[in-house]
Every structure is written in structure tokens, then in C-alpha cells.
Amino acid sequence: MPTGPKHRPPRTPSAPAAVRLQKVLADAGLGSRREIEGWIRTGRVRINGKLARLGDRIGPADHIRVDGKAVKRRSARQTELRVIAYNKPEGELVTRHDPAGRRTLFSRLPPLKTGRWIAVGRLDINSSGLLLLTNNGELANRLMHPAQALEREYAVRILGQVSAETLKQLTHGILLQDGPARFEARFEEIVESGGEGANRWFHVLLREGRNREVRRLWEAVGCRVSRLKRVRFGNVILGPRVFAGHWRDLTPDELTDLLALAGMERPRTPARRARQDRPPARHRKAAVRSPSKPEGKRVRAKTPGHKPRVR
């Protein structure tokens, strides 16, 4: 029998798999998946001239338009990943356009070569502090997703005295109304950090990002919040060197750790050098110090086998 080499027919290359519309637009840096879903529902997105629907998948030959403008498709690997830490002042809105003409943070941000800045969550107009922004829609979506349960730390100023019983109640859980539904919310930890006169400062730890949740929790126990500032998101600390209305790129170590928290790998694109647009050069080094924990009473959330205690 012949024992010569066998000749196999050439393989036919398989067609690229169709990808969800939300992922394509997020990879193009247009927004987070949650934001893009809202665009689809309101009819802002079209595929090959037809209105897009939730669940649509896109192939290489499909053409996408958002608000009538053609979308240039690119993968997340083709876009240089950037994440910045912005210090939002009170009175500023986290939106691209305000019908009343009020100031928005997007007018202060550095320009991007491709895509646009996506805010990781929000802070209301009366709140200040750390807000992360990125040009990667997938990263923004993961950081905001409730399943990640990333820590958010806030400094809160309360008018008047707060009893130990009230603090324990805030860590045990309180039912809050969220539209037609109710949900239980709580602080993972509360640290009393001093104050002057009638005001007391507390640092609180939360693992959710529902609308005005920090204020609503304090208001539910009869406390009035006079100031609210976010000081940490996940592993990223605002630091004292980023003044209100200014921003800085994350350091390479901060970015690596943040991607790990989101369950993502570092892209192979060259890392940008951490920099800050303001203040003057002597202050431009990115702040990477761990925050010193304030002295005072500490109340932890109730967990199985553990009783909250005040120290």
C-alpha cells in the first residue's frame, strides 16, 4: 500500500463571530454598556439604516450610526487605555450637556485622540471628590457593576451629635425606597473622625453605588448631611495634591491594581506616563500614599458570627 504523505484540503477560514452591539460601541470608547443600552432603547442607534434593538449582534459588514453619525469600529486593544482621577467640586454636574447651561466636568477634561471620556458612576451636584473617568467602556462597565462590590469611601459631615445606637443601625441595614421596590442598604464601616462645634465628621465605607445612597442612609436615621466628599474608589485614593476641578492620570501601579479588581488584564499598549495638568510643576507628582485612618470610634457592619462593636 502507498505510504506517501496525505494531502488534506485547504481549510476555509471561519467567519468572524458576531459581537453584541453594546460591546462594539463600548470598545469604540463611546460609553459604558449600561449607557449604550439607554441609547438603544431611545432609538439613537441604527444598524444598516434600521433601528437597533437590545440583543442585536454585529458582523464585520454591518454599519452602525449613533445620532446619525457613523461609528468607526475598533477593538479595545487598538485604543490606548487611559484612566484619570478627577476631583469634582461642588456645584458641578456629571453630564455632557445641561439644558440649564450649568457647568459640567467634561469641559475640564483633556482631549482624547479616539473615543471619549466615560464617567465611572456619578456624584450629585452637591457632592465633591474623587471621580474616575476612562476611555474604555468595558472597564467602566465592570467597575460600576454591582457584582464587583468595589469599596467606595466617603468623608461625611453631619450636623449635630450622632449616638452609638444610630451608628450601629447604619451598619446593620436600613430599608430604602428605590422606585416601586425597596432594598436594604448599609455601611460596611463607619469611622468617627472628629469635628468642630455642632458638626461631626465620619468616614463611611460602601460597596454599592445607588443614587444618593450615602445621603439617603443618613437621612433615614434622622441625620442631616452638610458636606459629602468621596475620597477613595477601589484602590484609587484622591490624595491631597489634586485640587478641586483638576485631574491626574493613574500611576502604572494604580492602573494595574484597578484592572485586577475589575477582572481585566493590562492591555499591551504602551503605558502613559502619569501626569497632572495642574497645579504647578512642584505638585505634579501623582499621589500614591495610602490614606491615614482617622482616629475615633469605629463601627463595623454585622456579619455572621461577628457582632458590631464600637471602639
Residue 158 β-bridge partners: 200, 225
Q: Does the bond joining 294 to the residue before it have cis omega, within 30 degrees of 0?
A: no
Active site residue 124: yes
Distances in whole angstroms, Cα of residue 87 to Cα of each of 246, 281, 294: 6, 18, 21
CA 180-181-182 angle, to 5 degrees, is 135
Grid cell for residue 5 = 504523505
CA–CA separation, 169 vs 157, rounded Å? 18
In the numeric block, the cell 502604572 is attached to: 252
CA–CA separation, 30 vs 135, rounded Å? 8
CA–CA separation, 90 vs 290, rounded Å? 24
Residue 128 β-bridge partners: 229
CA–CA separation, 213 vs 176, rounded Å? 9
Q: Which of 62, 98, 124, 253 is catalytic?
A: 124
Active site positions, annotated:
124
